[in-house]
Structure 1
Amino acid sequence: MTIATQPTGQRLDRGAMESLYEETFRNFEEGTIVEGRIVAIGKDKIVVDIGYKSEGLIPLEQFSQEELSHLKVGDRVQVYIEDTEDSEGNLVLSKEKADKMKIWEDLEKIFKEEKNVEGKILSKIKGGMMVDIGVKAFLPGSQIDLHPVRDLDGLIGKVFPMKIIKINHRRGNVVVSRRVLLEETRDRNRQTTLANLKEGQLIQGTVKNITDYGAFIDLGGIDGLLHITDMSWGRVGHPSEMFQISDRVEVTVLKYDRETGRISLGLKQKTADPWTNVATKYPIGTRVKGKVVSLTDYGAFIELEPGVEGLVHVSEMSWTHEVRHPSKVVSIGDQVEAAVLNVDPGNRKISLGMKQTAPNPWDVVETKYPAGTRIEGKIKSLTDFGAFVGLDEGIDGLIHISDMSWVKHIKHPSELFKKGQKVEAVVLRIDKEKERLSLGYKQLTRDPWEDEIPARFHVGDTVSGRVSKVADFGVFVELEGGVEGLIHVSETRMEPSGRLEETFKLQDEVTAKVIKVDREERKIALSQRDHHADMESRQVDEFHASQGSVDQSLGRAAKQRKRTKSDDE
């Protein structure tokens, strides 16, 4: 065979020929990627010619089903040289490794050029997520979103644009971030939003977060606060009653502070304030209907329309009963009828009355039960200060504790009455304005203090009786006729260190001196001390009187002895 000659026309020797032949394979090194041509397709392998001294073999399993369906002899393919010569002298090639190396090359180029990649989230792993970007990459938990993600499982299978933030081909290590792109998008949107933001403008947003005091709305890269008080003219118990996360909402910009970046938003401001026309819509005396929306200790709030509420004070709920708490009369959600008592648009207040929708029974009582009328009723309740008696009209009258007895000191109404007991009483006075009916029990009988008691008990009299009550300030003694007198603690004979309840027992017999009878105050004051002093004084007088009688007898006897002696002489 004749081969090419050198310019000098000299024939190449065998050594030069071999050197030239080896030169043709110098670029085919293990671990490099070259392009080859498919020369044959077998049952389990594909034969590829890369221009080497022998063809290489690639297993069919390294091709996808889609690739195999289009594969034909003559196609060009990128291959990786694993071994230039195995034990059998064959060239070993790999398409799979060539593909991976190509992916790594592309990823490194993307990383250097700071471009984005599409990543499919595969699974949740410790510290974050595993992502497929052509190779498996790590997405740290802090780089998934702008805010912590609670449901990581919900992201599996989803595809997001990401940015490579770290890559090491030799170690097969790639770290990606979705947050970086979100921050870039947010910053761009924020600049656009802030450049166009004005107070009073309407703007679309997305509910990003809900708290007890309001909802944060994403306006496009920047958040604004829609406070609960600016959500509705009506009552809102919690923002979640009106919104859910991701809801789209149109709001009004109420205030934008460019220094702090704070944005206050409003929703109710999109409609007119319903309090503007309440004075003409709800004039005093108007009958209205509404729903009970709130209860407090002092009354019930009634919603007349969204944003307009009126208060029914507990004192305006019933003509005939003292309402201690509105829950005794109404419940939240009840539909009620009321009358407008007062309207204050400036302070956004409407006073309502429920009892005004029914006839006032005090109009009847005032004419039916004039002062001095005897009535009959049942004891409805007992308090420390008196007993309430129910009348047929549903009105309660009060027998005050001071009007229960002319002669006894009543400490508690239970000493005379029991709940449910039928009693007679006398109407003392009626106060229609304050809705009070005063009754008297002792007035059923004649006042013994007018003449009977003053005629029976006089200052200086010694009286006896039994202990009926022991108080901190003295002892009450029941005297003849049921009248009570008081021995003040200073008028007892008790030692200074003693205690009344230990010295005096109920029903003990006590004797004392009357030191005061007060008809106006209806009181009899007694004194043990004065009585004892009087007794001692009488005893001394009796002693002196008895001593004088003895002296007189002795004198008469001496005179008699003297006369007898004279006679004898």
Structure 2
Amino acid sequence: MEIVSMPSEKMDRATLAALYEETFRNFEEGTITEGRVVAIQKDRVVVDIGYKSEGIIPANQFLPDELAALSVNDRLQVYIEQCEDAEGNLVLSKEKADKMKVWEELEVAYREERQIEGRIISRIKGGMMVDIGVKAFLPGSQIDLTPVKDLDALVGKTFSFKIIKINHRRGNVVISRRALLEESRDRKRQSTLASLTEGQLIEGTVKNITDYGAFLDLGGIDGLLHITDMSWGRVGHPSDLFSVGDKLEVLVLKYDRETGRISLGLKQKTPDPWTDIATKYPEGSRVRGKVVSLTDYGAFVELEPGVEGLVHVSEMSWTHEVRHPSRMVSIGDIIEAQVLHVDPQGRKISLGMKQTAPNPWDIIQERYPVGTRIEGKVKSVTDFGTFVGLDEGIDGLIHISDMSWTKHIKHPSELFKKGQRVEAVILRIDKEKERLSLGYKQLTPDPWETEIPMRYHVGDIVTGTVSKVADFGVFIELDSEVEGLIHISEIGQEGHARLEDTFKVGDSITAKIVKVDCEERKIALSLREYLQQAASEELEAFHATQGDVDHSIGRLAQHKESPTPPSSEPEGQ
């Protein structure tokens, strides 16, 4: 029997052709498929995807680490760029396959609202550029819950983000970190509010500092730690105790569920140290403390945490005039002081530094009784007097009225200069007010008691120099530096001429003494009486030079009857 093989052979060929064509039916350009690595060459990787020819991927599409780890028979996701190029080669792309895969994953994450990881790679206008597999835009408003001052510091850091907008066709992706932070904050807020009760201890992070307190983030909700609830002691400013970012354990003092306001306390975690303060620091006791603050009026000293006392500037030294506490102490100094007064209700303790040393005023009266001569150095010169320092550190005042018995002192600088050593006499000691009065003129006897009454008498004519011109008269400096006054009523000046226009300092003036008052220490002079007396004396002197003259009528008549003497000249001439 003859066997016919041709039809069967034709069917086999047709079937093989159909099967062969079927292998190419699913390979379309622009799609992703899986392939097997069949060769790794220097500049390319050969991949078999089941096509009639093997595909080629340029080696530069692999990272160095990826290429080093790649082996024959490894499976890869590849992108079909061309089924046949000009040379009939199948052109594949790993790079495009990776990107398409990333876009697919990003679109899934966007639809499912899942968070993604990304690394900030650069700062651009309006925000930051982030690598999430593709480049995505992070707007500046979506970086954090609060504005970020230093954006450059974020470059290179990795964060979680949420996709808020995606367009594969245009290649645009907009992401947000703020959205995730807000979601986290809301979850924490709900959790915190559900468990928050007054009296509860809770940990918070300092979020913001103001003049009146510090705001703490308690976990999605803020609470206020007021400055008065920070410490039992005095707090100048919250920033003296805390910085933004500090973590604190605080006590919930009050929680208003209607307004959402939370008041916090830190000092309430410890007992109030002022409860038995009067017993702990009785008045008159000696204490040691640390200078923690300086003001214009004194220094605050910490005796223990939460307890501070004030050393007023007037209580720092017995002898020195302290203009500012910084001249005596510095912040951080450990000082010894005496408790002067305790006010538990007002939470105040008054301290004194000078009370820890002997009071020189206690012995000043014994060492320097009134009338004692002392020597010291001029400390300062003022309009009203000169301060002289004694060896004990006490300053005495020579008042301007105690500088000269007779001379009119306009300013103490006429007699004294700073640093000059002078002698003086103790006049008065006031221990309560801590004042020492000195006298300079008392070094010599008072000339008004003996010398001046004996030298100057009413009616005497004296000559002196104009030392001062006032509205009410002219002061004349006489011998021995004694001054007399010519009152304006004793000038005898005619018209309305001003004294300053008539008399000049340094002019020599002669006048008559009309009064010597030793009790008031004044000598009154008169220019008018002197001029009158001088005119009268001149008239008398003139009459004295004329001799005795007969002014009778008979003598005058006799003079008229006497003949005229004959002329000696010849007639006719």
1:289 aligns with 2:288: yes
How far the C-alpha of 1:90 sits from its partner, in A, is: 4.9
| Mean Cα deviation higher: 112-121 or 522-531 | 522-531
Query: Where in structure 2 are the equivalents of 1:223-234 lying within 5 Å?
Result: 223-227=222-226, 230-234=229-233
Are residues 359 and 18 of structure 1, via their aligned partners in 2, closer, same or farther at CA, if it must alter by over 3 Å?
A: closer
| 2: CA distance, partners of 1:259 / 1:488 | 87
Are residues 76 and 252 of structure 1, via their aligned partners in 2, closer, same or farther at CA, if it must alter by over 3 Å?
A: same
How far the C-alpha of 1:204 sits from its partner, in A, is: 0.5
Please name the residue that 1:505 is paired with. 505
Contact in 1 for aligned 2:376/2:391 (Cα 8 Å): no
Which residue identity does 2:270 align to in structure 1? T
Contact in 1 for aligned 2:378/2:421 (Cα 8 Å): no
Please name the residue that 2:48 is paired with. 47
Query: Where in structure 2 are the equivalents of 1:126-525 lying within 5 Å?
Result: 126-209=125-208, 215-227=214-226, 230-234=229-233, 242-254=241-253, 256=255, 263-371=262-370, 373-381=371-379, 382-419=381-418, 423-450=422-449, 453-454=452-453, 457=456, 461-470=460-469, 474-488=473-487, 491-492=490-491, 493=493, 496=496, 498=498, 500=500, 503-506=503-506, 508-525=507-524
Are residues 160 and 375 of structure 1, via their aligned partners in 2, closer, same or farther at CA, if it must alter by over 3 Å?
A: same
After superposition, the C-alpha distances for 1:243-279 in whole angstroms (9 at most, x for unaligned) are: 4543322123345566765544332332223333221
Are residues 467 and 216 of structure 1, via their aligned partners in 2, closer, same or farther at CA, if it must alter by over 3 Å?
A: same
Are residues 60 and 307 of structure 1, via their aligned partners in 2, closer, same or farther at CA, if it must alter by over 3 Å?
A: same
Are residues 167 and 72 of structure 1, via their aligned partners in 2, closer, same or farther at CA, if it must alter by over 3 Å?
A: same
| 1: CA distance, partners of 2:254 / 2:519 | 73
Contact in 1 for aligned 2:40/2:71 (Cα 8 Å): no
After superposition, the C-alpha distances for 1:406-437 in whole angstroms (9 at most, x for unaligned) are: 22222233434455555544333221111222
| Mean Cα deviation higher: 351-360 or 472-481 | 472-481
Contact in 1 for aligned 2:37/2:71 (Cα 8 Å): no
Q: Unmatched 5+ residue regions in structure 2?
A: 1-5, 564-573
Task: Give aligned pairs, total.
Answer: 545
TM-score, normalised with respect to structure 2: 0.80
Which residue identity does 1:308 align to in structure 2? V
| Mean Cα deviation higher: 489-498 or 125-134 | 489-498
Query: Where in structure 2 are the equivalents of 1:98-109 lying within 5 Å?
Result: 98-109=97-108
| 1: CA distance, partners of 2:476 / 2:513 | 12
Which residue identity does 1:163 align to in structure 2? K
| 1: CA distance, partners of 2:456 / 2:265 | 83
How far the C-alpha of 1:183 sits from its partner, in A, is: 1.6
Which residue identity does 1:360 align to in structure 2? N
Query: Where in structure 2 are the equivalents of 1:70-81 lying within 5 Å?
Result: 78-81=77-80
Which residue identity does 2:306 align to in structure 1? G
Identical pairs, percent: 68
SS in 1 for 2:111: helix
| 1: CA distance, partners of 2:254 / 2:365 | 60
Query: Where in structure 2 are the equivalents of 1:117-132 lying within 5 Å?
Result: 117-132=116-131
| 2: CA distance, partners of 1:472 / 1:325 | 43
Which residue identity does 1:384 align to in structure 2? D
Contact in 2 for aligned 1:290/1:337 (Cα 8 Å): yes
| 2: CA distance, partners of 1:457 / 1:257 | 94
How far the C-alpha of 1:285 sits from its partner, in A, is: 0.9
How far the C-alpha of 1:346 sits from its partner, in A, is: 2.2
Q: Unmatched 5+ residue regions in structure 1?
A: 4-10
| 1: CA distance, partners of 2:24 / 2:382 | 118
